[in-house]
Amino acid sequence: MTDKNIIELTPFRADLTRALTRRGERILASNDLAHEVAALEPLEAYYIVREIGLDQALPILIELNPEQLEACVDLDCWNRYDFAPDSLDEWLTTFALEDPATMARAFSSLDYVMQLLFLAQTVTVYDPDTDQVPQQEEGSPPRATTPDGFYLLELKTELAMKTHPFTVLDALYQYDPVIAHRLLSDVRVDLPTQIEEEALRFRNGRMQDIGFAPPEEAAVLFSRPAIRQPLPRSLKPIDSALTRMPSVYAGPLIETTLLLQALSLITDHERLLSLEQEVVWAINSAIIAYGEKTQDIKQITDIAERVRDTISLGLESLLAEQEGNVQLDDAAAAAKASDLLDVWCITDLFRHGFAATLGLQQEARKALLEPRFRSWYDLAEAQQSDEPGDRLERAFVAALLGRHPLCSGFDSAKAEEVKAFSCLADIADAHLRLQQLVARICQ
């Protein structure tokens, strides 16, 4: 049996392998689709749908329970603090491909305040018997009367909607006229700002339940860690029901890093579940802190890789403080890194890795104080050298000067591509590269 086979049989590696089997194509091909979808955590369900695309995911969407669907809408239909009705329209349009009743059932399964918010941002509701209805003039928004004749609706949004809001309401009246009437009654009397504030509050609570911290908490990732070593941590998982890892996160984590080696040495099931959950939450926090959207699976995969590498760097940095020179391919280093997981939480390990990059950022900022280097860096694009190497060096410096120092300028085909520093050797190489660049330009 080879070392590779031994690694593959570790509990953590087995968990990652199982996560990678939970992909959309395999679930779609299942003989018991309903059972497969019901077993998915909300975050898993969302990424699976996004990975295969809404147009291909209809059979999965139909089987989503309300908690899973709400997670999809919470992740996909908000721009930071602002609701995006056109994004929810994309989901409703996909359900409508089955039939209007399926769309209405999906819409009705959402949080009631979310339903109110969508309607409040897309239609104005009048009671013709009591409200002063403006005169409809040429070019004014379209109007329609509800099937029960109680309300007059006027289109409010100027967004290009694939499924007209009036069509959504027609389907709702067919599905449950009592609920449809109640929704319009509440939209008519409630203030839109109050509806949005309440919907955002509920959405933030649900997001935290699936591991997405508020922006101000997520930003802690990019702060210096505590100087003192914390006390040993509890071995109990935070919530074992939320430790399932989406396949989009598992893919990067299965690559050989110090983090993988450390986690592979843990055999206690509860301890491993807790750490897996912390890794998922660290990736979620990084997504928020970087200000990225969860719709872009490629970008989310890149962030998962950055988190993986930054945590590995944090482990190595702590080992270097304790032991001096660290040989990453040494089994003893993996064992000592595994011991650190009993002391430091994953977020703090990330912060240690982030802190290890700040010296590079400070060095790059100092270099800009040199007039020649500043002139080179600020040169207008039209005046820059056509040499591929020059473009790579500019990307390298720009990535160091970013809010979160990253490595760039390593691929001539994709000069601006960025990745995280994964080990102290990477940082040492970058220090040398920056010094040589400054010396060459300022000579």
Tokens of 307: 């988190």
Q: What is the pTM assigned to this prediction?
A: 0.89
Q: Are residues 125 and 249 in the same domain?
A: no
Residue 323's H or E segment, with its range, is: helix 297-323
Question: Whose CA is closest to 354, among 225, 248, 229?
Answer: 225
Alpha-carbon distance 243 to 210, whole Å? 10
Residue 14: per-residue pLDDT = 87
Residue 138: per-residue pLDDT = 79
Tokens of 41: 């955590």
Handedness of CA 300, 301, 304, 309 (dihedral sign): negative
Alpha-carbon distance 422 to 308, whole Å? 8
Q: Are residues 225 and 204 in the same domain?
A: no
Q: Are residues 225 and 202 in the same domain?
A: no
Calculate ∠ Cα 294-297-300, nearest 5°.
Answer: 65
Collapsed DSSP state (helix, strand, coil) of residue 226: coil
Of 151, 186, 209, the residue that ends a domain is 209
Question: In this structure, is residue 6 part of a structural domain?
Answer: no
**Burial track 188-220 (b if 16+ CB lie within 10 A, e otherwise):** beeeeeebbebbbebbbebbeebbbbeeeebee
Q: Are residues 145 and 275 in the same domain?
A: no
At 421, the amino acid letter reads F
Question: In this structure, is residue 11 part of a structural domain?
Answer: no
Tokens of 51: 């990975």
Residue 3: per-residue pLDDT = 47
**Number of separate domains in the chain:** 2
Per-residue pLDDT of the chain (443 residues; tens, 9 = 90+): 344 444 456 888 888 888 888 888 889 998 999 999 999 999 999 999 999 999 899 999 999 999 999 999 999 999 888 999 999 999 999 999 999 999 999 999 999 999 999 999 999 999 998 988 888 887 788 999 999 999 999 998 778 899 999 999 999 999 999 999 999 999 999 888 999 999 999 999 999 999 898 888 999 999 988 777 665 555 454 454 445 789 999 999 999 999 999 999 999 988 899 999 999 999 999 999 988 888 889 999 999 999 999 999 999 999 998 876 767 677 788 899 999 999 899 999 999 999 999 999 999 999 999 999 999 999 888 888 878 888 999 999 999 999 899 999 998 888 889 999 999 999 999 999 999 999 999 87
Collapsed DSSP state (helix, strand, coil) of residue 145: strand
Can you give the residue range of the structural domain that contains 341?
217-442
Residue 90: per-residue pLDDT = 96
Q: Are residues 283 and 427 in the same domain?
A: yes
Alpha-carbon distance 196 to 111, whole Å? 13
